[in-house]
Amino acid sequence: MSEKRLAGGREIVLPMSKAVEISFRSLKIRFGRSLITTSGVILAIAFLMSVWSSNAIVGSLRAVNKSEINLLLQKNGIETGLAESGEASAEAQASMLEEESKQTWLISLSLLVCVVGIANAMLMSVTERFREIGTMKCLGALDSFIVKLFLLESTFQGVAGTTAGIIIGFALTFLLALLDYGGYVLDYFPLSKIAESAGFALVVGTSLSLIGAMLPAYRAAKMEPVEAMRSDT
């Protein structure tokens, strides 16, 4: 056998079902540790969802333009100056924009912190598992397998954390809104807007988890099998 290409046999594969199984179990075994990373996602997404829900509910109540509701809104510091044509006054619009950009800034910052937290936790996980990764490479795992495993783990964390965050964020805002505005919240509940927000939040949360895991996954994949041999640790 003197050709450069080694002959015979099938290729090297990692079936998706197996990859999912390994990733899921790795997550379970480090549950305590992954909870800390996940809580970062939960909090950030809860914040995002609560802001969006709050905007949706308040927006829906403002649009109704009933005096009793407007009174409640004003009590909570919300501008209700809707003119006859249904357009908000110039002042009200300006302050609304300012409020929105402040919110966007806050949300973006919290999401960024979240991503950094995920990246950090995953990097730690990679460093701790150098032997496992090296061993898998000795068994024939391709770099892409390792990347797949870490990205899958992060996705599971992301989905779980995001879902929890969406529920918590919405629930808190909903309860607070009930306290502030009573039954009107239920009468004018912006279901489609909330569902839309939840969908967006899910996408955002999962994407962030993936992004946060990219650098760590790359580092893991580049690890040399020789690392597994090191018996000093």
Binding site for other proteins (CB under 8 A): 1-2, 4-6, 9-15, 18, 22, 25-26, 28-29, 131-132, 134-143, 145, 224-226, 228-229, 231
In terms of CB distance, is 164 or 228 closer to other proteins? 228
- Taking the complex as a whole, how short is the minimal distance between the CB of residue 112 and other proteins, in angstroms? 32
How many other C-beta atoms are found inside a 10 Å radius of the C-beta of residue 47? 19
Q: Least distance in Å: CB of 148 to other proteins?
A: 13
Query: Which residue, 126 or 164, has its beta carbon nearer to other proteins?
Result: 126
**CA 5 to CA 215: how far, in whole Å?**
31
* Closer CB to other proteins, 69 or 146, in the complex: 146
Judged by beta carbon, residue 11 or residue 84, the one nearer other proteins is 11
Nearer to other proteins, 24 or 105 (CB): 24
Distance of closest approach, residue 16 Cβ to other proteins, in angstroms: 12
Minimum distance from CB of 73 to other proteins (Å)? 53
**In three state form, how does the secondary structure of the chain look?**
CCCCCCCCCCCCCCCHHHHHHHHHHHHHHCHHHHHHHHHHHHHHHHHHHHHHHHHHHHHHHHHHCCHHHHHHHHHCCCCCCECCCCCECHHHHHHHHHHHHHHHHHHHHHHHHHHHHHHHHHHHHHHHCHHHHHHHHHCCCCHHHHHHHHHHHHHHHHHHHHHHHHHHHHHHHHHHHHHHHCCHHHHCCCHHHHHHHHHHHHHHHHHHHHHHHHHHHHHHHCCCCHHHHCCCC
Least distance in angstroms from the C-beta of 171 to other proteins: 33
Q: Which residue lies nearer to other proteins by CB, 142 or 171?
A: 142
How far apart are alpha carbons 140 and 113 in whole angstroms? 36
**In the complex, minimum distance from the CB of residue 31 to other proteins, in angstroms, rounded to a whole number:** 12
Provide, rounded to whole angstroms, the least separation between the CB of residue 156 and other proteins: 14
Tell me whether residue 114 or residue 141 sits nearer to other proteins (CB atom).
Answer: 141
Angle of helix 130-138 versus helix 90-128 axis, rounded to 10: 70
